């Protein structure tokens, strides 16, 4: 059966070839060329159509892949956000349950200081300023060690419990690329995710140095980032900064932004570091949220009679109220910043009144 079928097929192919060769012989050379041309053009057209079809299919596929990736990222972000919001809430609850664990500036307090820079800043750019900050004996308030001097000076005004702030300055400079979006803006408790993510990034430095924060152990990160967002619509200088100083008492971690790399900036940097460090021990901000000025609790001497002119300002505000409602910047190096009785009470030096 199969053999018969095969023979039949062979016969048909043979007949087809005979017919084709007869037809070819019958054609003139010119017509043959035309036919050849038609065949070539048809093949080329076919190729174009197939390629186009393939392109469409792959474009569609790519779009679908992109969409899927975007959706997956959204889902992951939402999950992370939920997880971190929950963790934050749990921590807040823990803090409320154990109010006695609120760290205060009493006893021995270790502060681990890290110098951190983004990848696009070189060690050489920030080294002179770091050298100044590391100087053990310095003139007034332009070394990180001056923080302790300042705190000790201020403590003398109260019958403060004894304390020692032990600074551990990291010998090396760390590199950390802090992602701009989310990490650095809106972190004043408004964007839990941003704070959390920022902390996760800095936590890698603590892990590398095998430092576990806890009772008597806090960290201060000095982040050398002088970039500005250049946002013309921003209200203030601070709104334009890419990275802003802040402190998380619960996590025992403070972040200070060195936005100027000049050596002359050292004393301002130490002032900011002292302010953020005091947050770690319970001190609250005393500046006004939406305008240039301090709350009444931010006056250098809240009990002065008559109240004005004030000659100093509390470091948790940083301004002097010369006349009621009129403020100007207090100079750290001129001794115009103090720790007033409100801040002293918050950090555990004297009993909380009222
Ligand atoms: Zn503050």
pLDDT digits 0-9 by tens, 3-17: 666 678 888 888 888
pLDDT value of position 263: 95
Token pair belonging to 248:
């998380």
How far away, in angstroms, is 273 Cα from ligand 1 center? 10
Best CA proximity match to 243, nearest among 267, 263, 269, 224: 224
Q: Is the pLDDT of residue 266 over 80?
A: yes
pLDDT value of position 239: 62
Distance CA 132, CA 31 (A): 93
Distance CA 192, CA 87 (A): 10
How far away, in angstroms, is 347 Cα from ligand 1 center? 14
- The model's confidence at residue 201, banded by pLDDT at 50, 70 and 90, is confident
How far away, in angstroms, is 331 Cα from ligand 1 center? 17
Best CA proximity match to 282, nearest among 154, 102, 108: 102
Alpha carbons within 13 angstroms on the beta-carbon side of residue 16 total 6
Residues contacting 219, CB < 8 A, separation 6+ = 111, 112, 113, 114, 202, 206, 211, 213, 252, 253, 254
Best CA proximity match to 221, nearest among 111, 103, 116: 116
Q: Is the pLDDT of residue 141 over 60?
A: yes
The 3-state DSSP class for residue 349 equals coil
pLDDT value of position 183: 43
Specify the DSSP element, H or E, that contains 40: helix 29-97
Specify the DSSP element, H or E, that contains 229: none
- The model's confidence at residue 188, banded by pLDDT at 50, 70 and 90, is very low
The mean pLDDT value of the chain amounts to 86
pLDDT per residue as tens digits for the range 275-315: 999 999 999 999 998 889 999 999 999 999 999 999 999 99
pLDDT per residue as tens digits for the range 204-237: 999 999 999 999 999 999 999 988 766 666 556 6
Neighbours of 199 (CB within 10 A): 18
How far away, in angstroms, is 285 Cα from ligand 1 center? 5
Omega of the bond leading into 271 within 30 degrees of 0 (cis): no
34-43, 198-207, 304-313, 316-325: the lowest-pLDDT one: 198-207
How far away, in angstroms, is 24 Cα from ligand 1 center? 95
How far away, in angstroms, is 275 Cα from ligand 1 center? 6
How far away, in angstroms, is 30 Cα from ligand 1 center? 93
Alpha carbons within 13 angstroms on the beta-carbon side of residue 261 total 16
Instruction: Enumerate the domain spans of the chain.
Output: 99-280, 296-346
Ion ligand 1: residue ranges with CB closer than 5 A: 285
- Interval 183-195 mean pLDDT: 52
pLDDT value of position 232: 60
How far away, in angstroms, is 271 Cα from ligand 1 center? 11
- Which letter, b or e, does each residue of 141-160 get, where b requires 16 or more Cβ atoms within 10 Å of its Cβ? bbbbbbbbebbeebbeeeeb
Token pair belonging to 11:
């016969």
Specify the DSSP element, H or E, that contains 41: helix 29-97
pLDDT value of position 181: 43
Percent above pLDDT 90 for the chain: 57
Bridge partners, residue 256, by sequence: 222
- The model's confidence at residue 182, banded by pLDDT at 50, 70 and 90, is very low
Q: Is the pLDDT of residue 186 over 60?
A: no
pLDDT per residue as tens digits for the range 329-343: 999 989 999 999 999
- How distant is the alpha carbon of residue 145 from its chain centre? 27
11-20, 73-82, 250-259: the lowest-pLDDT one: 73-82
The set of long-range contacts for 168-173, using a CB threshold of 8 Å and a minimum separation of 24, is: 168/110, 168/111, 168/112, 168/113, 169/113, 169/133, 169/134, 169/144, 170/112, 170/113, 170/114, 170/115, 170/209, 172/115, 173/115, 173/116, 173/117, 173/123, 173/126, 173/130
CB contact at 8 A, 63 and 71: no
How far away, in angstroms, is 277 Cα from ligand 1 center? 9
Question: Length of the chain in residues, anyone?
Answer: 354
């Amino acid at each position: 059966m199969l053999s018969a079928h095969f023979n039949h097929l062979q016969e048909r192919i043979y007949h087809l070839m005979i017919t084709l060769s007869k037809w070819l012989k019958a054609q003139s050379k010119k017509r043959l060329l035309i036919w050849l041309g038609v065949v070539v053009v048809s093949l080329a057209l076919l190729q174009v159509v197939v390629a186009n079809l393939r392109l469409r299919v792959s474009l569609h596929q790519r779009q679908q892949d992109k969409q899927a990736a975007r959706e997956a990222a959204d889902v992951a972000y939402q999950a992370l956000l939920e997880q971190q919001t929950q963790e934050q809430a749990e921590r807040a609850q823990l803090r409320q349950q154990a109010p006695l664990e609120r760290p205060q500036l009493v006893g021995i307090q270790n502060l681990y200081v890290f110098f951190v820079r983004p990848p696009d800043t070189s060690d050489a750019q920030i080294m002179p300023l770091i050298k100044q900050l590391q100087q053990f004996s310095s003139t007034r308030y332009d070394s990180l060690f001056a923080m302790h001097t300042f705190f000790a000076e201020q403590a003398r005004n109260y019958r403060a419990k004894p304390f020692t702030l032990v600074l551990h300055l990291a010998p090396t400079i760390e590199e950390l690329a802090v992602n701009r979006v989310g990490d650095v803006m809106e972190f004043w408790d408004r964007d839990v995710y941003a704070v959390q993510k920022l902390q996760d990034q800095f936590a890698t430095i603590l892990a590398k140095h095998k430092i576990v924060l806890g009772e008597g152990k806090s960290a201060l990160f000095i982040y050398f980032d002088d970039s500005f967002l250049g946002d013309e619509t921003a209200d203030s200088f601070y709104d334009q900064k890419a990275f802003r100083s802040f402190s998380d008492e619960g996590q025992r971690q403070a972040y200070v932004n060195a936005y100027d790399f000049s050596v002359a900036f050292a004393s301002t940097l130490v002032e900011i570091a002292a302010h953020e460090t005091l947050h770690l021990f319970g001190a609250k901000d005393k500046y006004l949220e939406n305008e240039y000025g301090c709350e009444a609790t931010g006056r250098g001497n809240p009990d002065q009679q008559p109240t004005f002119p004030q000659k100093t300002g509390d470091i948790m505000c940083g301004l002097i109220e010369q006349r009621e409602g009129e403020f100007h910047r207090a100079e750290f190096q001129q001794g115009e910043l103090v720790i007033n009785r409100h801040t002293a009470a918050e950090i555990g030096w004297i009993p909380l009144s009222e």
